[in-house]
Structure 1
Amino acid sequence: PQTLVRQPPLPVLATPQSETTWRLTWPAGAGYTAVFVSPRADQFDWHMPAATLRGDETELTLSLPAEMGRPYFALRRAESDAVVYTAVRLLPTPSVLNLRDIGGYQTASGQQVRWGRIFRSGDLSNLSEADLAYLQQLDFQLVCDLRTSEEVEKSSNRPLGGNAHYLHHPIYERDKGDGHWVRSLLLKKGRLEDVWLNDVYIARFVESRAAAFGRVLTMMADPRNHPLLLHCTAGKDRTGISIALLLALLGVPDETILADYTLSNLFYDQLLASVEADAKRLAVFGIQTADLFPILTSPASVLQETLAYIRATYGSVENYVQEKAGVTAVVIEQLRTNLLYP
């Protein structure tokens, strides 16, 4: 699965070296002359740089007080006052699968997605005390749970408390008619990736559940819901499509959208362990754990073909969310206003 991971391009990469030390790296010629640090993604003191630079460096290591919590960084070029923002994408929460910030990605026009606004993850049913305290520092306003009622009943979220409002918004519910694609998996186990793409991503998600995705996008457009945590069980399929639609509407290139999607492969081992019990039940039907590889991973090709289907059928992602998912032009504009840096 590691070979399926594509690292999304970022103008500046932030890497933790320890709990209090951070390394920033960027390409030669960027010309940054000042670095600013803040515990809040949208509040920087522009009169108090954490470091000044000559303009020809390509990296910087910063030591920060432990009480700062999760730091956000801003790098400025003197000649233009242009600012680039960065932070660590993957959050250090071992008990929450696949938790990450979708900020920092650049659009085709050169804007950046705001950090600290939209986060994505797997479910919060195994949330530890330490990770609960960490998430409470992020001050989520809305936790949007995309799982089925059956999944929620089986593994209910641990409440975050504070200002976090919990909303159960299932992308789909399991019913008696849902067995057809499971049978397809059993009958076509040698072609599970095709089944996953056509029966699940396109037929079930894109075509049948467009309105549910539209409501998710509308929630993400409202700044009163920020910071917002969007999750399903593993944070890769229902959450992955939601975030892909969002990034496409914001103008992020497909290369970056696909790379973000593949980051779920970093958590393959944990995901595999979480389905071992189900895999044993499937063994009765001749399905081995290895057969499930295509649906436990996030290959770029599945999302790439899903986006290609949307564009071929509806003309563009924007047309799809307006015509099929019920998202208004006003909401699309709100997404861009509230989730992109000026």
Structure 2
Amino acid sequence: MTDLTHGHAVALATVPNLRDLGGWSAADGRRVRAGLVFRSTELHRLAGDDLAKFDELGITAVYDFRTAAERDAAPDPDLPGVTDTHLDVLADSSTAMPARLNEVFADPAMVAQANKALGGGQAEAMMAGTYRQIVNLPSARTSYRKFFEALAEPAGPGAALFHCTTGKDRTGWGAATFLTVLGVGRDEVFEDYLLTNDELIPALHPVFASFEKAGGDPDILSAILGVRRQYLEDAFDEMTAEYGDVEGYFRDGLGLDPAVPETLRTRYLDQ
């Protein structure tokens, strides 16, 4: 059974920001089926009792949105009965905000440089640019196409989980578009997205404490290691400008068969 402690969150100390995307209400009155699709941070710290708890979720497919460098630095564990598919969303980007900045900011020597380069709203601007790339980069469109194609395949014996490093940006867009195409309202989509600030930031307290102790501006960390409503709004604005709506994004942006959205609704909504 899924242990729900905050909305749809699953409490695993070694995998913060893990949650079930089931339970949200769609516009037609149906609900997203629970226990079928999960989102999380990277899994490389998964260990101890959490391994057994993770196994109880019934996950048999993992989709990893990280770069090759991120995977090499912190590879997911080899889990029995679980397939691991690499979908590098940011492969074509040379300017996206680096995903492992929580480790960079743990180095006191980086504090002054971070304050200068990312203060005064520059961090937020860089994050906004990253979100627009997540919508339109060729590697992003290819990765999300393969992800949704896999979710639309005939149902297998288990659940799916997708993640990046901190489970908030690349993963956040994957969750937002998944819920949106199922008909979940925009307010609820943002509610799921913003849960990251509750589920991830506490786990990063040592990074914040070290950064502030060395003279770092905590607002910079909050802007980069947390999520802001404006970031997801920027991504939706980009999607709307380029493709009209989520159906157009799936069809013209991702190149998916027009039947995929309805297939997803049939599979992941209670009938």
Q: Same fold (TM over 0.5)?
A: yes
Q: CA deviation at 1:173?
A: 2.8
Report the Cα offset of residue 275 of structure 1. 8.2
Quick one: which of 163, 167, 171 aligns to 1:235?
Answer: 167
CA displacement 1:207-234 (0-9 Å, x = unmatched): 1122222221212222227400111111
Question: Within 5 A, what are the aligned runs for 1:69-148?
Answer: 69-70=1-2, 89-148=8-67
Change (3 A) 1:118 1:316: same
Q: How far off its partner does 1:308 sit? A: 2.6
CA drift of 1:172 comes to 1.9
- Give the 3 Å change call, closer, same or farther, for CA 225–212 of structure 1 in structure 2: farther
2:70 aligns with one of 138, 151, 167:
151
Give the counterpart of 1:217 among 148, 162, 178: 148
Report the identity percentage: 29
Conserved 8 A contact 1:210-1:321: no
Match of 1:195 in 2: 126
* 1:117 Cα offset (Å): 0.5
Call closer, same or farther: CA 1:330–1:134 in 2, change over 3 Å: same
The verdict on how the C-alpha distance between 1:307 and 1:289 changes in structure 2, with shifts beyond 3 A counting, is: same
TM-score (norm 1): 0.66
1 CA distance for matches of 2:152 and 2:248? 17
Equivalent of 2:202 in 243, 248, 269 = 269
Q: Would the alpha carbon gap of residues 70 and 310 (structure 1) be closer, same or farther in structure 2, given more than 3 Å must change?
A: closer
Displacement after TM superposition at 1:309 (Å): 2.7
- Counterpart in the other structure of 1:178: 94
Give, in whole Å, the separation in 2 of the partners of 1:274 and 1:218: 37
Superposition deviation, residue 268 in structure 1: 0.7
Q: Which residue of 2 aligns with 1:320?
A: 249
Q: Does 1:165 align with 2:83?
A: yes
Residue 309 of structure 1: aligned partner = 238
Query: Unaligned 5+ residue runs, structure 1?
Result: 1-68, 73-86
Shift in CA distance, 194/91, structure 1 to aligned 2, threshold 3 Å: same
Aligned length: 250
Specify the SS of the correspondent of 2:248.
Answer: helix
What secondary structure is seen at the aligned counterpart in 1 of 2:156? helix
Structure number with higher helix proportion: 2
CA radius of gyration, larger in: 1
CA–CA distance in structure 1, aligned partners of residues 142 and 208 of structure 2 = 29
Q: Deviations over 1:74-118 (max 9, x none)?
A: xxxxxxxxxxxxx96211211111111000101111111010110
Question: Structure 1's 136 and 295: CA in aligned 2 closer, same or farther, altered over 3 A?
Answer: same
2:101 corresponds to: none
1:302 to 1:244, Cα distance in 2 relative to 1, 3 A: same
Deviation at 1:125, TM superposition (A): 0.8
Contact 2:135–2:238 (Cα < 8 Å) also in 1: no
Residues 1:181 and 1:158: Cα distance change in structure 2 (over 3 Å): closer
**SS of equivalent residue, structure 1 residue 224:** coil
Q: Per the alignment, in what secondary structure is the counterpart of residue 178 of structure 1?
A: coil
